[in-house]
Structure 1
């Protein structure tokens, strides 16, 4: 695993943001070519995606895909170890460097011993953090021709012991979407606000009514988390009554069907508030993440793989509330996302002091390989 460790720390030291993973992609491609996949597809999706294809020794009976992510986050790292990020305001704070290392370790295993009847696709996906990467890969014509029968991905989980495997049937991560509401009115003299259309009361009404949609208990029906992200209105000129405002929210629910219902309700709240105060609303959406809807039969392969690898298996009761764009794949293919414990003392994801624990890299590769073997033996 020494070459994998060196690779992981190099990736951590040289992070790139979503959509700009050009050097990361080159590094991964160069590493994969050492282990002779049967085919290596490059420049997928937005131009940085990679798929390594390992054909079986005999007739293909099924195709399975494993996915990891290439991108880092716009966060300044505060660690002082030797492999810390050399790029200001950019760092791997979600463990995608480790996920790539897991997949590269898996490629080494597959180069030594292929499956008998199962084609394996290793997808290195760009732009997970902004929700654009999975969509771009899914819409790529070269990907469409591959048509996997099942898809799998893991995500490291601080707060769980190293090597724990965390599974859940059905929704594993929530559906997430974000709304941008722009309210166009008319400025006026602050001494004569009645001569303009100020968005303040509309903003207040939107926030108040959005709060009524919050249902924070994930074990109850219509679980909903709505979080205000950004708010602006007017300027710091005390003689002017504002004529423009913006409200940004992100929100999440446990199922894709429930998300669509909430989207419609929130749009109507914004439109009604704007009309009441004679404002023109402009509504847009950004960074949509489909819920990861796990297929129970696919999760059973993860369960059996964990048992065969003598790993501690944890059954989770409720979905994780963060978004993950692997949901695009589980929306169109049977599959599952599961968790890999990265330590109870490990800083949380997206924290400036987070670092992937190298001791779990081989565990991730082993369980992916075991899933492949179980499916191949069907």
Structure 2
């Protein structure tokens, strides 16, 4: 049973984090506060991984070393909510619930530091820059698993569309891969009334956008999961001038690594060869790439077993449809066994979607999250 004062304390932390959101690699206030609280719980604290990352370590006798991870960064979105704890930073808000994830993991660390019903070492990993900036990969590159060897690592995310008190986990993919790309189409500028004197990258861009949609629709099996979306088009300065170049930005999402490799190759071919007959030179640069968030089967089963020990069977969802959204916790799962799971966020009324300007983390989830982290630690690291 999680003490009510701890739940209230975690709720206050959550709302403080919400009011002071920070973008990826800029989580200086959040990082300092997290480190301060962890030290007050008696944990060993390491700062500076990936710049603003924090790791708190709680040792309690012999046993395995396990990691629990929370993300800390916010999004470049102007908040539209009217809550007392709404963002005080113009154009920045916690629209994905990382404020809640951080508060829950802090509270779990405090609870476990008091109860100590486990034997081994727990590493509480607070990660910066999850939103498209690769903070997990940077933490790994900076030595996360060298400095803090772990037998497994686990990550949690709140999930609108699933009721509070429900948990979902798969033995394989949970979230899609992410490839963010920028395509540059270079033509020849000319007067818009004399297009024969130039090479029009705007027309080429229009045709390329439509052609790229044939990849998931006609080049892949219907059983393969892939999404190709162009989300930005930039080019031109005057209405009577065909521009020299047009830039397209977008994203590719896949649930299978082999499909991802094939689609990337096909996009590259379209960019470089499809536009050539139009007199356009095409090139592509990949800006961000996360692998598929693919759970390790044993770790996922451990999460499921723990959930079944806490919740009615009908509230534990196993082998559900993965999401085509992405998560850079995948970069940790590439090098360390573990699992990623969702906790339901819908209360009496449905939660606003993630990345929505009216989203706010559902504080009803805080006690559920603390209880699950504590139970998972005790299950994975039983006292001797």
Structure 1 length-normalised TM: 0.93
Partners of 2:318 and 2:133 lie apart in 1 by 27
Of stretches 91-100 and 199-208 in structure 1, the one that deviates more from structure 2 is 199-208
Partners of 1:297 and 1:18 lie apart in 2 by 32
Residue 145 of structure 1: how far off its partner (Å): 2.7
Match of 2:3 in 1: none
Match of 1:368 among 360, 367, 373: 373
SS at match of 2:305: helix
Partners of 2:216 and 2:235 lie apart in 1 by 24
Residue 316 of structure 1: how far off its partner (Å): 4.2
Match of 2:182 in 1: 180
Say whether the 8 Å CA contact 1:219–1:318 is kept in structure 2: no
User: Judging changes above 3 Å, is the alpha-carbon distance between structure 1 residues 70 and 202 closer, same or farther for their aligned structure 2 residues?
Assistant: same
User: Judging changes above 3 Å, is the alpha-carbon distance between structure 1 residues 32 and 215 closer, same or farther for their aligned structure 2 residues?
Assistant: farther
Match of 2:40 in 1: 34
Match of 1:319 among 314, 319, 322: 322
Structure 2: runs of 5+ lacking an equivalent: 1-5
User: Judging changes above 3 Å, is the alpha-carbon distance between structure 1 residues 146 and 338 closer, same or farther for their aligned structure 2 residues?
Assistant: same
Cα deviation digits, residues 126-174 of structure 1 (max 9, x gap)? 0001232011101013542323211111110111111211111200001
Cα deviation digits, residues 56-89 of structure 1 (max 9, x gap)? 32x24x2211111110111111221211111111
SS at match of 2:56: strand
SS at match of 1:43: strand
Residue 167 of structure 2 corresponds to residue 162 of structure 1:
no
What stretches of structure 1 move > 6 A for 4+ residues in a row? Answer: none
Structure 1: runs of 5+ lacking an equivalent: none
Cα deviation digits, residues 351-376 of structure 1 (max 9, x gap)? 11111111211211211221222221
SS at match of 2:41: coil
CA RMSD of aligned residues (A): 2.0
Cα deviation digits, residues 235-283 of structure 1 (max 9, x gap)? 2231x22221112221211123321221111011100023222323231
Partners of 2:127 and 2:78 lie apart in 1 by 23
Residue 377 of structure 1: how far off its partner (Å): 3.3
Residue 226 of structure 1: how far off its partner (Å): 1.4
Say whether the 8 Å CA contact 1:70–1:124 is kept in structure 2: yes
Say whether the 8 Å CA contact 1:215–1:224 is kept in structure 2: no
Match of 1:308 in 2: 309
Match of 1:194 in 2: 196
Match of 1:75 in 2: 77
Partners of 2:279 and 2:119 lie apart in 1 by 65
Match of 2:249 in 1: 248
Say whether the 8 Å CA contact 2:164–2:365 is kept in structure 1: yes
Say whether the 8 Å CA contact 2:60–2:121 is kept in structure 1: yes
Match of 2:332 in 1: 329
User: Judging changes above 3 Å, is the alpha-carbon distance between structure 1 residues 219 and 265 closer, same or farther for their aligned structure 2 residues?
Assistant: closer
Residue 27 of structure 1: how far off its partner (Å): 1.1
Structure 2 length-normalised TM: 0.92
Partners of 2:55 and 2:88 lie apart in 1 by 27
Say whether the 8 Å CA contact 2:24–2:133 is kept in structure 1: no
Partners of 2:301 and 2:142 lie apart in 1 by 30
Residue 156 of structure 2 corresponds to residue 151 of structure 1:
no
Residue 85 of structure 2 corresponds to residue 51 of structure 1:
no
Partners of 1:143 and 1:125 lie apart in 2 by 13
Residue 310 of structure 1: how far off its partner (Å): 2.5
Of stretches 309-318 and 25-34 in structure 1, the one that deviates more from structure 2 is 309-318
Partners of 2:255 and 2:59 lie apart in 1 by 36
Aligned residues, how many? 372
Alignment of 1:94-133 (within 5 A): 94-114=96-116, 116-133=118-135
Match of 2:297 in 1: 296
User: Judging changes above 3 Å, is the alpha-carbon distance between structure 1 residues 184 and 330 closer, same or farther for their aligned structure 2 residues?
Assistant: same
Of stretches 10-19 and 196-205 in structure 1, the one that deviates more from structure 2 is 196-205
